[in-house]
Structure 1
Amino acid sequence: VVMYTVRGAKIEGSRPYHFQTACFIAFPILAGIVHGFSLDEIGNSFAKGAASMAFVSMAIGLAGVVSIVMNQGNIIHTIVYYLTQPLLAIGQQFASVFMTIIIAIINPIIPSASSKAAILVPIISPIADAIGLTPQLAVQAFQFGDGFTNLISPLLGWTVGSVTMAGLSFDKWLKWVLPIVIIFLLLSFIFMYILTGMGWTGI
């Protein structure tokens, strides 16, 4: 019921996140009434559930704050500028691989794909044009770099929240998932090298 209600609101064009919040408050109360709980029991159960999520919410919020500070302080812009300069001095195939590496490095710091695109695209797009990379190759480098390192980002809300809810320390999670991420990244570098050599245009 919750899923279809929220989905329906999204289709109708209302604000889904605000609507979800209202649903997450209203539906537990309704479920408690249907189950036959008293108002005190509903309130106590709701408070207990909310308390278990308090630290998770704080961790997600803190991750978002750090990302905002680095964006608004132009810290990321400086890092990106100096990382992208070597692209102009190497061949196309290695440039496409290095472009993927840059995005993979930046991704854990700016987990938001839209923010990352706003920062990287104005820099990477002219560099890709200058070294003769097709737009599709630049987009593919962005997609490879933007995907796998989400699993190791300490600033991504759902990663931090999921690890916290699972009762794991981030160090323990990192030790387990990092080798897998490295394997996927190495495969993506190989694919980028091959696709660039083929002159891939996405067709």
Structure 2
Amino acid sequence: MAQPELNTNSALSRVKEINVFALLFAVIAIAVVLTYLIPAGEYARVDVNGRSVVDPQSFTFIESSPVKPLGLVNSVHTGMVEASSIIFFVLIIGGTFGILTATGAIEALIVTLSRKLQNQEKWLIPIMMFFFAMGGTLMGMAEETIPYIAIMIPLAIALGFDALTGAAIVLVGASVGFTSAIMNPFTVGVAQGIAELPTFSGAGYRIGVFVVMYAVSVGFVYRYAMKVKKERGYGFFGNYEGKSSADLLRSEVVLTTAHKWILTCFLINFVVLAFGVIEYGWYITEIAGLFLLLGIIIGLIGRLSANTVVDSFLKGAAGLISGALVIGVARAIVVVLNDGHILDTMLYYAATAINQVPPAFSAFGMLVLQSLVNFIVPSGSGQAALTMPIVTPLADLVGVTRQTAVLAFQFGDGISNILTPTSGYFMAGLAVAGIPWIRWVKWIWPLILTQYGIGAVAVIIAQLIGYGPF
């Protein structure tokens, strides 16, 4: 079956979005003004086991050096340069996923699973949500989920469920994985790099979070789906009123041997990645190279021509251009604060204000902060670039482990991605399903509150047990 043709741009245009670049540029301007208002100061940095750590007793005020007006625009280029390694890392991985999509392996797997589950509706929700959750937690699946909403909703309706159930299987499933971020390169990978933590370290704890988040989310969607199956009038069908999955079930799409080999290579890639990170300390350069090699291999297995491989890579990378540029523009804010020598002053005042609060509650405060920032900067990698250079030394000052600070970031970034109207891919998904945002919020808010509760408990426990390595 040909993949449903969705006009994502049209779906997005129906939503009045806050332009993230305009907001970030406004914040850069505010940061420039603050360099004239806040006294300059600095902490001494000391090297501890190869990482730069703030000496909490070393803060001193220094001569002010406010950023000149031209620095407002210069900082954007400087931010792009400083964040270039992360920007190109994101683009290379996006390009590899573009090649994977072009092979048709993901679509064939989903359609095959859907066919096999057509008469086993009780297994549809946990199995398909697990598939999308693994996509979110291993490869940062988000925008890529939108086309599959048009596959899952007709199937869910044909099995006695509704549009909310079909959309939730995709959106909630991917969100659970994206939030727990066992090996999500776009969130925990970027954030840990900025925090100078070993790449994908602390995965064991995040696996535990994944299991809890997944179980709770599946239970929430499953209970609702069973109510709809018992009483159809309880459901909501959006754009799919009266639709069935007949076309999907008659589809000629099959999971070929080549598709199976491609998916096997994809899984092997993550095994090799984990081994390289643990044994050899691989970082962004090596991980990006591994994904690029994966793209070439699956292109060969999928019998794609050289031109198709390159075009698919460019298409996949182009889909992440906006998010990649957000990383550089967000970095410009930090550039201004550093050039004006007020970042350390802000850290000093913040640390002084919360120094009497137990570190566990400081960690919870970081979760709240990241959740608020995510409303303005819905890009996970962009939010990491904006907040982690500030949160990392603050965590050192108030006694919160850096790994816990990253955990607070990934919860604050991930949970609200299927709630806030500034999340573009989420709003596009609702538009495809024909589900009004208010209707979705009324349905999803108990689960969102539960997930925030899980996140808060996980962050506090992480701090209490010294979740690290540091």
Task: Give the TM-score, by structure 1 length.
Answer: 0.68
Matches of 1:154 and 1:61, distance apart in 2: 17
* CA 1:169–1:28: 2 relative to 1, 3 Å: farther
Matches of 2:162 and 2:197, distance apart in 1: 42
The partner residue of 1:16 within 16, 19, 32 is 19
Does the 8 Å contact 2:182/2:203 carry over to 1? no
Map 1:1-203; keep pairs closer than 5 Å: 16=19, 19=22, 23=25, 27=29, 30=32, 34=36, 35-36=64-65, 52-90=82-120, 92-107=121-136, 108-109=138-139, 111-113=141-143, 115-118=144-147, 120-151=148-179, 152=181, 154=183, 157-199=186-228, 201=235
* CA 1:15–1:135: 2 relative to 1, 3 Å: closer
**Corresponding residue number in structure 1 for 2:428:** none
Matches of 2:109 and 2:130, distance apart in 1: 13
Report the alpha carbon displacement of residue 166 of structure 1 after superposing the two structures with TM. 1.9
| Structure 2 residue matching 1:88: 3-state secondary structure | coil
Report the alpha carbon displacement of residue 116 of structure 1 after superposing the two structures with TM. 1.0
Q: Which amino acid aligns with 2:117?
A: L
| Structure 2 residue matching 1:171: 3-state secondary structure | coil
Give deviations 1:68-126, integer Å, cap 9, x for gaps: 22223333212322232222131x3332222322322333446223x3121x1232123
Does the 8 Å contact 1:109/1:153 carry over to 2? no
Matches of 1:30 and 1:147, distance apart in 2: 36
Q: Which amino acid aligns with 1:201?
A: G
Report the alpha carbon displacement of residue 30 of structure 1 after superposing the two structures with TM. 4.6
Report the alpha carbon displacement of residue 183 of structure 1 after superposing the two structures with TM. 0.8
Matches of 2:17 and 2:149, distance apart in 1: 30
Aligned length: 184
Give deviations 1:118-155, integer Å, cap 9, x for gaps: 1x123212321221111122222223202110132656
Matches of 1:79 and 1:61, distance apart in 2: 25
Does the 8 Å contact 1:134/1:201 carry over to 2? yes
**Corresponding residue number in structure 2 for 1:8:** none
Give deviations 1:20-58, integer Å, cap 9, x for gaps: 67x39x74995698553698xx7xx96986665333323
**Corresponding residue number in structure 1 for 2:12:** none
Does the 8 Å contact 2:192/2:199 carry over to 1? yes
Matches of 2:201 and 2:190, distance apart in 1: 15
Matches of 2:31 and 2:105, distance apart in 1: 45
Matches of 2:106 and 2:214, distance apart in 1: 22
**Bigger helix fraction:** 1
Segments of structure 1 that go 5 or more residues without pairing to the other structure are: 1-12
Segments of structure 2 that go 5 or more residues without pairing to the other structure are: 1-15, 37-63, 229-233, 237-442, 444-470
